[in-house]
Amino acid sequence: MKVGFVFPGQGSQKVGMGRGWAEGQDAARQAFAEADAALGESLSKLCFEGPESELQLTRNTQPTILATSVAALRGLRAAAPGLEPAYLAGHSLGEYSALVAAGTLDFAEALRLVRRRGELMQEAVPVGQGAMAAILGLASSEVEEAARAASTGAETCAVANYNSPEQTVIAGHKAAVERAMALAKERGAKRAMPLPVSAPFHSPLMRPARLALEPALAAARFADPGIPVVSNIDAQPLGSGAAARDALVRQVDGPVRWVESVEWMARQGVELFVEVGPGNVLCGLIKRIVPGAKALSVAEPSGVADVVAAAGL
């Protein structure tokens, strides 16, 4: 059976994440120790104990999710050494976790990059000027049209995440996003929900963050992936370290093509998707994208047994 490992992005964080792995698996505990050393602070304590207000800050959310995902990955590899993924992918921030798993990015360097990424994304748009919203029950092409119609010369709205056939996320200037939400409802959307985020991620408003992050990515060492990583921005596997770096630059202000990424892996024969990291958001999306697909989470060590059984190991 072909297996794909997928890694969650921002929004999956919660106080207590990773604690089960750190308490029960030496390899996972070591990952958290490395994360603390890389950033010179107790990232692990923030994961395990909070406070939630600090965990929700984008500059903290991104490295803590990466650290938890890599800890879970190492714990999973130690607990189920016969489980080998054919493909890797990560949702937004999760692409950094996938690149660490592929041997493309050094873990410590990835932590420093996502800390900077989080800071730059937060600084790109003044608080209150940007917004994001999830549109449910409307074809993505209709959502694209609503976003275009809601945009003006001064205010823009665009699709940020193609999450599932039933869920498309938009982002941009707050007023334009609100207009797009109203248009989506007029076109038949079941729901249009504002998202509790601090910035309009993966929208054209993130261009200042992209330009500022590019030099840091240019200075980082990228090896060629040891396992194919399907990129967010192109929904195709990355062929080299240089391609991985370029994809991370472009995904800052480009949309996350999660539907196409999962469909591509399914076409290659992936039958079991394992969500490695906090939460199980991606499992739900994958089951909607590929009906009948098996999608399991290892947010906790207790999930390993189900994964091993599903993989037939």
Q: Is 231 a catalytic residue?
A: no
- Single out the catalytic residue among 44, 69, 92, 164: 92
Q: Which residues pair with 132 in a beta bridge?
A: 171
Measured distance CA(60)–CA(33) in Å, rounded: 16
Residue 14's CB is within 10 A of a number of other CB atoms, namely 16
- Domain end marker among 180, 197, 214: 197
Measured distance CA(196)–CA(200) in Å, rounded: 11
Tokens for 23, please give them: 């308490």
Quick check: 152 pLDDT over 90? yes
228 and 248 co-located in one domain: yes
Of 58, 77, 73, residue with least CA distance to 132: 58
Measured distance CA(102)–CA(259) in Å, rounded: 21
Measured distance CA(201)–CA(171) in Å, rounded: 7
Quick check: 128 pLDDT over 90? no
**230 to 152, 242, 257: CA distances (angstroms):** 33, 14, 10
pLDDT digit string, tens, across residues 206-235: 999 999 999 999 999 999 999 999 999 999
192 and 245 co-located in one domain: no
The number of residues in the chain equals: 313
| Prediction pTM value | 0.96
Specify the pLDDT at position 66.
Answer: 98
- Domain end marker among 144, 174, 197: 197
Q: Which secondary-structure segment (H or E) carries 75? A: helix 58-79
97 and 235 co-located in one domain: yes
pLDDT digit string, tens, across residues 23-55: 999 999 999 999 999 999 999 999 999 999 999
185 and 161 co-located in one domain: yes
248 and 153 co-located in one domain: no
Are 49 and 225 within 8 A, CB to CB?
Answer: no
Specify the pLDDT at position 173.
Answer: 97
Domain that includes residue 162, residue range: 130-197
Tokens for 192, please give them: 């249009």
Are 301 and 20 within 8 A, CB to CB?
Answer: yes
Q: Is 92 a catalytic residue?
A: yes
- Single out the catalytic residue among 69, 151, 202, 203: 202
Tokens for 134, please give them: 């999830």
141 and 101 co-located in one domain: no
CATH code assigned at 148: 3.30.70.250
